[in-house]
Structure 1
Amino acid sequence: MTTSRRAVPYTLLAIATLAILSLPLGLRAVASPADPAASGPASPRALTPSAAPLDAVRLAGPVVLWTGATATYATFGPAVSGKAVSGRAYSALSSAASAAATWSFPPPGQTGQISQGPLCLTIPAGAPGTPVTATTCGASPAQQISLVASANGAALRSAASATNFVDFSPSASAFQTHVQDRGDGVQTSLLKPAGQAVLSVATVTKGAVGTATVSGRGTPGAAVLNGTQSARVGTDGRWSMTVVGADPAGATVRFAQSINGQLYTHADAVITAWPVRPAAPVAETFFPDDITQDAIVRGKGQTGATVEVRSGDSVIGSATVVAGTWSTSIASLGSGEHPLSVTQTATGLQSPPRELSIDYGAAVSITEPADGTTTS
């Protein structure tokens, strides 16, 4: 509609009121990050350990060997350089676990050193009954140890010999080699990720609508999972992930920590609602009775928003919406009808334009008296 000073001095332009789309809480896919107003529904993503790459986190814990010969639980003692690893037998696993020394193991399924500080478990080649010792960690095949599947845990065997396994000698209160696996096995259920830390969220920094960078702390080397997304905890224990597909209405996003394919602890990040693009403001033009005064553009909008009135590319008026209403005067644009565009900006997002026009009427011309003459 057009407001004309000549024909309709006080006509009001009726515009539809503001409508705000409310979205449910949760994870959603964003239709177009470039368009803050666009979003589309998607199913919440489930946590899946398979989303993480292979971890390289070592395991650590009290080392207890179930021994088939005596049906007891033998504990690994502390490492003493050049000495046979001492042991003691217990009838109950719980008693042995509380008394055993802690050693560090390679990740499951991998061959590597079993260590305690600078000393490594050494399983030599040679005749059965050769002492299993703790020696300075190096490149010796006797220190490259595999955990071989056993009926009662994981039998220990080094790369130095395909037939020598670890056995416990009650008479020597120490460990030695045995020619074959008799079902003896380390109780791997006692082993936990070395240096395991509880997963935590420290900061949440929102980016474009539907995205946020979340960072926190966890176990060095572990994977942090959020649905199909994953990140790696660095050697300094810190991790960071840019979350995509979060609901523009806000979301609580859950992260899980995966270590060696297992989920250990989780943490939630609360992402507050992203701003919603405001609707086009209500706008109308108005001419005061006093023709010497400027025309007024006024209307309704989102409280706190900044309204701008444009003629072409030029801003000819602006106002702040107070208690839902706004008003600004504009200088004369000259005779005739002029299109206007009105937008409001809130929380950094600009509304679509509201198009209207203002008509100053035809230019006044004098036909009588003739130019240059006067009348009395």
Structure 2
Amino acid sequence: MTNTTEIRVAGEPGYAIRVGHGLIAEVGDALPEGARKVLVVHPPTLQKEADALRESLVGEREVLLAEIPDAEQGKRIEVASFCWQIMGQADFTRSDAVVGFGGGAVTDLAGFVAASWLRGVAVVQVPTTVLGMVDAAVGGKTGVNTNEGKNLVGAFWAPRAVICDLDLLATLPRNEAVAGYAEVVKAGFIQYPEILEIIEADPERATDVTTDEFRRTIELAIRMKADIVGEDFREAGLREHLNYGHTLGHAIEHAERYQWRHGAAVSIGMMFAAELSRLAGRLSDAAVDRHRDILTSLGLPTTYRLGAWTQLLKTMQRDKKTRAGMLRFIVLDDIGKPTVMQAPDESLLYSAYLEVGEEQRPEVRSTQTSVKL
């Protein structure tokens, strides 16, 4: 495998996603030539790395750092306002740029800040987590959460480039890598069964960030998303397939006040979607069992508290995929064959939830250590 893989996102504007080692040095080259001011948005845990990135970018540029709260707490309109304040006080113009340097929540927030400042300035995404690399940083979906739900406020804003430096994952705790890996598993279920085969052969190597197996699955997941968003940038059709497991997953995140990791919630959401597919006569028992076996082998959860259904249904009814009050779910006709189920009967939804519900809140585990939610 070559040191650097470049995956192109088609469309207008198109851009490159670069995957490899030692790529952090390429951030400066990815910025607009005329950018004289750059805002680097980062979480507290990456202060040392953000300082080093700033030093690599200074010269003719003025580089400012915006430290924001970690994880979903950073995806709030108050945090976006904090970034806008920094940019306003520094007189950022339309030729200047933003760098999102962190996990999925950071790249979502940084993209939204860039999309909204002066109606749009350039953004370069530098994801530092598995979730950020395979999902959040790719595709131009940006946004913040509200009290009513996740990602209800946002904009489509394509990055100039996405730089996935695998070296940034070296110190990532294993439970973080496994939680983010749920989005890789999703890519296997909806398009690339090769991912599932790699996991089934050896779950430990598949989620070990130093192995060729891990890199292969990461690149397949990125390629899947790049292909889809290149055809459907604004989620008019095909891109909806990327939401497999996310309708219930986002509702669980909201119910848990965003204290759960995204991947843990989406894992349960995929299990629910598989059960819904089976009950609708679309998916075989064997395919549903394969979902459960793979997710369990990775230490990801497949059940949630039974008594939460009423609250979850109410939240799902505000989901961004809902049309004219009708719920829409991404389901499978088979592994690798996603489709949309529109306005399913609530009794069918509840029956599917009974298959993933349990009386007590489950313990969420990684393959080695407990995942703190």
**For the superposition of Structure 1 and Structure 2, which TM-score range results when normalised by the shorter chain?**
under 0.3
TM-score by length of 1: 0.19
Whichever of the two has the greater Rg, that structure is 1
Which structure carries more relative contact order (alpha carbon 8 Å, separation 6+)?
1
TM-score by length of 2: 0.19
User: Higher strand proportion, which one?
Assistant: 1
